Structure 1
Amino acid sequence: MNQLLIKVKRNQVNYWLLFTAILAFLLGQAKLANILIITLVAYWLIDRDLIQKLKKIINRKSVIFLTTYFTLTLLWLVHSSDLSQGFKFVEMRLLILLLPIVISTADFNELQFENIKKTFVYGCIGVLALGLVNSTFDYWSTRDSGFFFNDNLTSIVGIQAAYFAIIVNISIVLCAGLILNDFKSFHNYVAILFLILGEFLLATRISILTLALLVIIFIIHISIKHSRRTALGALIIMLVIFAIGIVSFPQISNRFESMLSNFEYQFDNPNPVNHFNAEVSSENWNGLTIRLALWECGWEVIKDNFWLGVGTGDYEESFNKRIEKVNFKYAQAMKFGVHNQYLYTWISFGIVGLIFFLSSIIGLVILGYRNNNYQFIIVLAIFCIAFLTENVLNRYYGIFPFAMMLSIVYYSKRVMD
């Protein structure tokens, strides 16, 4: 009885530390979130069952796959010239090692996992609501509607729109899961509609396209598991929402229009990227041309370091040398990276590291399928799509949700590794 009581108390402490860390993260309090995670790990280490936990971890393929990117970061330190920069990446990605290990062995019960998911969803909604209030005050003083969009919406918590858009899409998937479990929960319908509105206002192209894909998956699921009439109704509602969003918010259509305004580029073009709240000019860079140029530079670095890459710490120096060589003025001024996680991985860890990374993703998909955990596969797909246009695992606000939510969603279901 005493042992059971100790386990229950430990279980509760782990839960509240994780719960609070997620809220701190969503509110942009990275230092507080890290302190809470460090406390969680320290508490995990002093468990009398630590040896048994370590044995369990060693036998779990999911932990190996979830921590692969950290493993690559650590191993490729030996191939780095700039160890100082390399250790910064190791420190930054330490969450990718710690969170899967702790969450996979913390013995959370089903209710606690569901409450953690709800915390993420409603915490995300709370931040969007705060952002709208903040933007409203800015609008009243300037009459500039642009304050409701993109980075302006999330400036109150200091998280870039591109990263918060990933968080919103994950929340939409989790909220859809709540709806599928209880079709009569009206507040979840309100929540998911508000999240979709937030995704539009963030005006991140890749995330809006991802949202469209999520809607298609949701409707297909309803059609197969429930009824075609319900699926048709959901389809009509979503089409109306998307149409209203595009027509009502010219800033959104402007984002896509600017991307299609020009397909050619010159590295020495000093003009900025077309802004969502300004007139589109074919002389400016746009979301597509800037990335095509960055990817071209990335590929040139890859060709010189094809097999093993440049190492964990030498990515920035190698990439910056390339953009200087081609006189890529705007990228130099803005200190842009390659804006593609796959190319970044190839540059840093070579084709060998990229194969390991892609293999870990495939491995996780297989494990998710075997466990009938399709929610996990969809959340993983959100990250894989985001990897196409952003170095997600180079920023704290990409690393935290990657390590945290993939672990939460995977281990919230009984797993067979």
Structure 2
Amino acid sequence: MLINDKHIVRVYEAELILLAFAIPIYRKVVPYIIAVIVLTWLLEADFSTKAMRIANCRHRRNTLFFSVIYLLYGLGLLYTNNIGNGFFDMEVKMSLFIFPVLMATIREEVLSKTIARKVLWSFVFGVLASILISYGQAIYQYYQKETLAVFYYSSLSPLIHPSYLAMYVCFAIAIVLYFMSRGFVVGRIRQTLSVLLIIFFQLFVIMLSSKAGILGLAITIALFSGYLFFGERRLGKGLLVSGMLIGSFVFLFMVFPVSAERFDETRVALEQADINSEEMANSSGERIMIWWYSFEITNDNFLAGVGTGDVKDNLMDKYREKQMLSALGLELNAHNQYLQTSLALGILGLIVLMLNLVLPAIYGIEQRHYLYVIFLILIAFNFLVESMLETQAGVVFYAFFNAYLFSLKKDPASLEAGSHK
């Protein structure tokens, strides 16, 4: 062992806390933090002990299943034509392999509930810092441009795509609500601040005007309400908290009609235009067209897909064929991870991706690990509207928290002392 045994747990703890804090703030620093974590793992050495942890623990072996999708993408290189794109794709998705292996082999002390709570709160504070930075730059832009448009959508989130930042905020809301419900926010002042923080987070999601983000917020509220009613069986508390969440959500949504207008645009596009119409191509219905044409490519390559590196080329050819000049110019992906994976790897890749969501969710319900279940449902929803595993903002968030929350086994808000078996 190249690092002192007394300090290794603290080193891992600091690195995980820093990573959780950095994910919603500044994506360029995230790869360096991951590299430091991997370096720590290598310098720790003791690989025989790490191998024994996997051999002696079924739960740790199950954690490794999350890396299978990455290995399939590796196999997809064997029949891809654009090998350059393929290797770049593997580089972007490397977190899908790193974090399952790391969490499957890391020492038990690092997976303690005490550290887990610090990591989760660090993410919440990272989200808060990101929001404050976003508002700060928006205020600066307002004095430069004198337009309220700087407080909405991509203008409000110049560093991270609004859909991804909204997803981070929704998960942060779930964390705060969950810890409040489990009694880890003690004292009237802290509870009041937590409630104000949740409302502040809701306000930001609505001002981002991301349709996926607003729907994700509604899903988060519904899931947590369901948890209070059915998970904890607290009818009175469930009605009170649900009423507060729904009331503040509806109020903010009405106060900021710009967000509602984006939903109206989509509704009109779907009602008045067909898949081949010019109106559809020039509206928010463009995403529907992309899904349709992605499905056409998938049907032609049902079994094995087009290969890891050829998805982009096939989509660009389809956009060119269908005269989707905007999508072609922006080089848009499928905007749906299920379709994106099917395009690359075929039906097997889609099945593995689905199993990565369904099996852990079943496990989480059985273990009453409800925060993990909420996380998985948020991910499953966002997979419908974004190709999350094609960007660092999506893949690191999913790969890290998925492997980490699963590897904990015990709910981080529980009081039981449990170990992996």
TM-score by length of 1: 0.89
Q: Equivalent residue for 1:135? A: 138
Structure 1 outlier segments of 4+, above 6 Å: none
Equivalent AA in structure 2 for residue 44 of structure 1: W
**CA deviations over 1:248-294 (Å, ceiling 9, x no partner):** 1121111111111122246573xxxxxxxxxxxx677333x212110
Would the aligned equivalents of 2:103 and 2:403 in 1 still touch at CA under 8 Å? yes
Would the aligned equivalents of 2:76 and 2:308 in 1 still touch at CA under 8 Å? yes
Distance 1:220 1:366 in 2: 16
Q: Given the superposition, is the C-alpha separation of residues 106 and 171 from structure 1 closer, same or farther in structure 2, using an over 3 Å criterion?
A: farther
Q: Equivalent residue for 1:88? A: 88
Stretch moving more, 392-401 or 57-66: 57-66
Would the aligned equivalents of 1:265 and 1:285 in 2 still touch at CA under 8 Å? no
Would the aligned equivalents of 1:21 and 1:34 in 2 still touch at CA under 8 Å? no
| 1:50 corresponds to 2:50 | no
Q: Equivalent residue for 2:24? A: 26
Aligned pair partner of 1:340 in 336, 345, 366: 336
How many Å apart are 1:116 and its aligned residue? Answer: 0.8
Distance 1:49 1:72 in 2: 28
Stretch moving more, 290-299 or 105-114: 105-114
Q: Given the superposition, is the C-alpha separation of residues 364 and 226 from structure 1 closer, same or farther in structure 2, using an over 3 Å criterion?
A: closer
Q: Equivalent residue for 1:98? A: 98
Equivalent AA in structure 2 for residue 244 of structure 1: F
How many equivalent pairs are there? 398
Would the aligned equivalents of 1:267 and 1:328 in 2 still touch at CA under 8 Å? no
Aligned pair partner of 2:406 in 403, 410, 416: 410
Stretch moving more, 58-67 or 302-311: 58-67
Listed as ranges, the matches of 1:379-398 within 5 Å are 379-398=375-394
Distance 2:201 2:408 in 1: 22
Equivalent AA in structure 2 for residue 168 of structure 1: V
Stretch moving more, 386-395 or 289-298: 289-298
Would the aligned equivalents of 1:22 and 1:33 in 2 still touch at CA under 8 Å? no
Across the aligned residues of Structure 1 and Structure 2, the Cα RMSD in angstroms comes to 2.2
Would the aligned equivalents of 2:21 and 2:123 in 1 still touch at CA under 8 Å? yes
What SS does structure 2 have at the residue aligned with 1:261? helix
Equivalent AA in structure 2 for residue 27 of structure 1: I
Q: Given the superposition, is the C-alpha separation of residues 121 and 67 from structure 1 closer, same or farther in structure 2, using an over 3 Å criterion?
A: same
Would the aligned equivalents of 1:306 and 1:351 in 2 still touch at CA under 8 Å? yes
Q: Equivalent residue for 2:225? A: 219
Distance 1:333 1:292 in 2: 17
Q: Select the structure with the greater relative contact order (CA < 8 A; seq sep ≥ 6).
A: 2
How many Å apart are 1:106 and its aligned residue? Answer: 4.0
Distance 2:147 2:65 in 1: 46
Distance 2:314 2:323 in 1: 15
Distance 1:79 1:29 in 2: 31
Listed as ranges, the matches of 1:9-408 within 5 Å are 9-30=7-28, 32-57=29-54, 59=58, 60-104=60-104, 105-107=106-108, 108=110, 109-155=112-158, 158-182=159-183, 184=186, 185-186=190-191, 187-224=193-230, 225=232, 227-263=234-270, 264-265=273-274, 269=278, 285-287=282-284, 289-408=285-404
**CA deviations over 1:137-186 (Å, ceiling 9, x no partner):** 2223333212111112222xx11111111111111111122111226441
Stretch moving more, 233-242 or 79-88: 233-242
How many Å apart are 1:231 and its aligned residue? Answer: 2.0
Distance 1:190 1:226 in 2: 25
Equivalent AA in structure 1 for residue 266 of structure 2: M
Distance 1:368 1:124 in 2: 25
Would the aligned equivalents of 1:323 and 1:332 in 2 still touch at CA under 8 Å? yes
Q: Given the superposition, is the C-alpha separation of residues 238 and 39 from structure 1 closer, same or farther in structure 2, using an over 3 Å criterion?
A: closer
What SS does structure 1 have at the residue aligned with 2:144? helix
Q: Which runs of 5+ in 2 are unaligned?
A: 411-418
Would the aligned equivalents of 1:66 and 1:360 in 2 still touch at CA under 8 Å? yes
Would the aligned equivalents of 1:267 and 1:329 in 2 still touch at CA under 8 Å? no
Distance 2:255 2:316 in 1: 40
Q: Given the superposition, is the C-alpha separation of residues 175 and 207 from structure 1 closer, same or farther in structure 2, using an over 3 Å criterion?
A: same
Distance 1:296 1:46 in 2: 48
TM-score by length of 2: 0.88
Q: Given the superposition, is the C-alpha separation of residues 221 and 357 from structure 1 closer, same or farther in structure 2, using an over 3 Å criterion?
A: closer
Would the aligned equivalents of 1:65 and 1:363 in 2 still touch at CA under 8 Å? no
Equivalent AA in structure 2 for residue 11 of structure 1: V
Q: Which runs of 5+ in 1 are unaligned?
A: 270-281
**CA deviations over 1:99-118 (Å, ceiling 9, x no partner):** 22223424312211110110
Distance 1:193 1:65 in 2: 37
Distance 1:74 1:284 in 2: 35
Equivalent AA in structure 1 for residue 209 of structure 2: A
Distance 2:369 2:301 in 1: 38
How many Å apart are 1:191 and its aligned residue? Answer: 2.1
How many Å apart are 1:27 and its aligned residue? Answer: 2.4
How many Å apart are 1:8 and its aligned residue? Answer: 3.4
Stretch moving more, 173-182 or 310-319: 173-182
Identity percentage over the alignment?
20
Distance 1:95 1:391 in 2: 15
